[in-house]
Amino acid sequence: MSSEVSAEIGERFPDVTALSTALDKTGYMAGDQLAAALFLAVRMGQPILLEGEPGVGKTQAAKSLAETLDTILVRLQCYEGISAAEALYEWNYPKQLLAIRLAEATHETLRETDLFTADFLLARPLLTALDHPGPRPAVLLIDEVDRADDEFEAFLFEMLAESSVTIPELGTRHAAVPPVVILTSNRTRDLHDALKRRCLYHWIGFPDAHRVAEIIRRRVPAASEPLAGEVAAAVARLRALGLTKPPGISEAITWAGALTVFGDDQLSADSAGRTLSVVVKYPEDEQAVRDTGLASIVGHD
């Protein structure tokens, strides 16, 4: 990160409290420890790895940070089998073919090097983030990196270490303004120590019911005060059942939103029953909930 960019960000966010307050204004309640970790990632220019179970706000942290920094968010969604080319760049083959046919039609001489220029390059998320001109760094979200394989993880480590990439036909591209990099993992597998050593780290645990209720109030303004608290408490009871997919914060927010659509200002067994599919996503989980009793889940037993 250039000294000018660093100075500007330093003025806007001189301390953790300033960044936490700015994140809070976007509707994201980071908490002291996460805000401190994100503050260090921004100020030190070092990647940060956010781990935690699905639905605790890892992806939203990156989105809110980009909004706070008033910069673009570039998201790379990882999946099994993802390749470096898919994440970095590829050549626009249809455009190259069109150029070849046009040259043939006009009897022009087209060299192979003419087809591998910046005009024919399709930037994918990683190259897009590296090429971002600024003035503030892009926020590069590498989402669910634990879904990718070991080879891709090694490639990421090298790219992040240098903030550059080599395109054989075009040479090395260095980031003018290195991005703020946030990697997320649901911990479906252990990541390599080499990647972890390169990154700052923060584990995002599931918040208590009081904090979940506050998040619901912020994200679903139409939800009444009692409804937000009751949904948060009900989600905590659901998570205690040992379900195949315990509901996360995103499900709690969606559940509260669905209840407000029905005009409910309180959570009852009846309202929970007709909206249960919003928060419980497996048939065996739904059966376990109904066996427990909806009245028990909503706290009316």
Give the tens place of pLDDT for each residue, 128-160.
Answer: 999 998 888 999 999 999 999 988 988 887 777
| Structure token pair of residue 212 | 């979940």
N-terminal to C-terminal alpha carbon distance within the chain: 57
Q: Structure tokens of 23?
A: 């994140």
CA distance 64 to 26: 6
CA dist list (Å): 296 to 180, 216, 223: 45, 21, 22
Residue 257 burial (10 A CB sphere; 0-12, 13-18, 19+)? middle
What are 180's strand-pairing partners? 139
| C-alpha R_g of the chain | 23
pLDDT over 70 (residue 168): yes
Q: What's the gap between Cα 16 and its chain centre? A: 21
- The reported pLDDT for the residue numbered 1 is 55
For residue 94, the model assigns a pLDDT of 87
pLDDT in tens, 184-241: 999 988 888 888 888 999 999 999 999 999 999 999 999 999 999 999 999 999 999 9
Residue keyed to tokens 């993802």: 82
pLDDT value at 16 more than 90 = yes
Closest residue by Cα to residue 237 from 212, 209, 216? 209
Whether a cis peptide bond, with omega within 30° of 0, leads into 135 is yes
* Mean per-residue pLDDT over the chain, rounded: 89
Share of the chain above pLDDT 90, in %: 60
Distances (CA, A) of 200 to 12, 41, 155, 196, 222: 22, 7, 18, 7, 37
Name the phi and psi angles at 152, rounded to 5: -70, -35
Average pLDDT over residues 38-65: 93
The fraction of the chain above a pLDDT of 70, given in percent, is 97
Confidence tier at 2 by pLDDT (50, 70, 90): low
Check residue 4 and give its pLDDT: 56
pLDDT, tens digit, 9 for 90 and up, residues 269-291: 999 999 999 999 999 999 999 99
Q: Nearest to residue 73, comparing CAs of 181, 186, 199?
A: 181
| Long-range CB contacts for residues 261-266, cutoff 8 Å, separation at least 24 | 264/227, 265/224, 265/226, 265/227, 266/224, 266/226, 266/227, 266/230
User: CA 224 → CA 12, 84, 267, 299, distances in Å?
Assistant: 35, 47, 10, 17
Whether the per-residue pLDDT at 3 is higher than 80: the answer is: no
> Residue 246: what residue type?
P
- Could you tell me the two tokens for 48? 């940060």
* Cβ–Cβ < 8 Å for 155, 84: yes
- Rounded (5°) CA angle 282-283-285: 65
pTM: 0.84
pLDDT at 139: 96
For residue 91, give the amino acid letter.
W
